[in-house]
Amino acid sequence: MVLLVLQAFILQWSLRPLRRVINELTKVQRGEIQRMSEQHPRELEPLTESINAFIESERDNLDRQRNTLADLAHSLKTPIAVLRTQLDSGQSERDLHEEMDVQLRRMNDLVSYQLARAASSGHKLFAAPLPIESTAEEIVRGLEKVYSVKGVLCEFDISPDARFHGEPGDLQELLGNLLENGFKWARSRVLLTAQPGPTTGSRRAGLILSVEDDGPGIAPEDVAKILQRGVRGDERVQGHGIGMSIVQDLIKAYRGELQVVRSQELGGARFDVTLPPGL
């Protein structure tokens, strides 16, 4: 009899941490707290971290979808205002046509950006690992046609173990915009490097991507400016800075980091992307 009472006591005591997790999860569902606390035994940390990551991912997705229309409307205000001003200014038909072409291209870029941003699904907790090289090869084949006059050579240094854990569309947007930026500014060479990031315990490895070119590079004081939405590094180069804004939003959605430095190997700009380990 004493043994049964002792076993029941031990069982009740051992389940106390799990009951605290259940109570906190109930409070999250009711909206009383925003996330699980970190005051849990080490054995339950993977569970509470997974729950918190799921909560944050869903909250980010909801915020992104809620803000897309408002952001798009705000982005389109300026080109629409410019067109209205030009129509009222009595300009020649030729000048008006040129200005309309510029503003319509800008509006198209803005719409494409917002659609890509809304479609980006953020950090996937249980996404299948995607290889890097096949996606990169497909993108480069297209860019080689677009920039055929320049004859840019794109080289790969991709580890066989490098994997992207997320949506295929997000990987295409990330690599596509980074590589297109490289092709746009390169004189003759672009280099894509990919390797697994550091990991701990049973966590899946992160990802480290670098795209560098042999172009003019970016002055440190200009880095923040060119990464702003709608800002170009050079007015003579087609585009409105939308691609790099998509890259920044994707990296933020995956809780990663972006750095822009001088390429030691090629001499131009190097964009370093670091995505953290998964759960």
Residue 239: predicted pLDDT:
43
State how far the Cα of 122 lies from the Cα of 250, in Å rounded to an integer.
7
Residue 152: predicted pLDDT:
94
From residue 135, alpha-carbon distances to 56, 172, 175, 273 in Å are 28, 7, 8, 17
Residue 111: which residues within 8 A CB-CB, separation 6 or more?
A: 72, 76
Residue 16: which residues within 8 A CB-CB, separation 6 or more?
A: none
Environment class of 93 (CB within 10 Å of its CB; exposed 0-12, middle 13-18, buried 19+): exposed
Residue 131: predicted pLDDT:
95
Residue 60: which residues within 8 A CB-CB, separation 6 or more?
A: 122, 123, 253
Q: Which CATH topology does 129-275 take?
A: Heat Shock Protein 90 (3.30.565)
State how far the Cα of 277 lies from the Cα of 203, in Å rounded to an integer.
6
Residue 268: predicted pLDDT:
95
Residue 17: predicted pLDDT:
67
Dihedrals phi, psi of 146, to nearest 5 degrees: -65, -40
- Walking along the chain (279 residues) 10 residues at a time, the average pLDDT comes out as 52 61 74 71 72 75 67 69 76 80 78 69 66 94 88 96 88 90 94 90 85 91 68 44 75 89 94 86
> Which pTM does this prediction carry?
0.63
Residue 264: predicted pLDDT:
93
Strand partners, 157: 193
Q: Assess contact for 125 and 54: CB atoms under 8 A.
A: yes
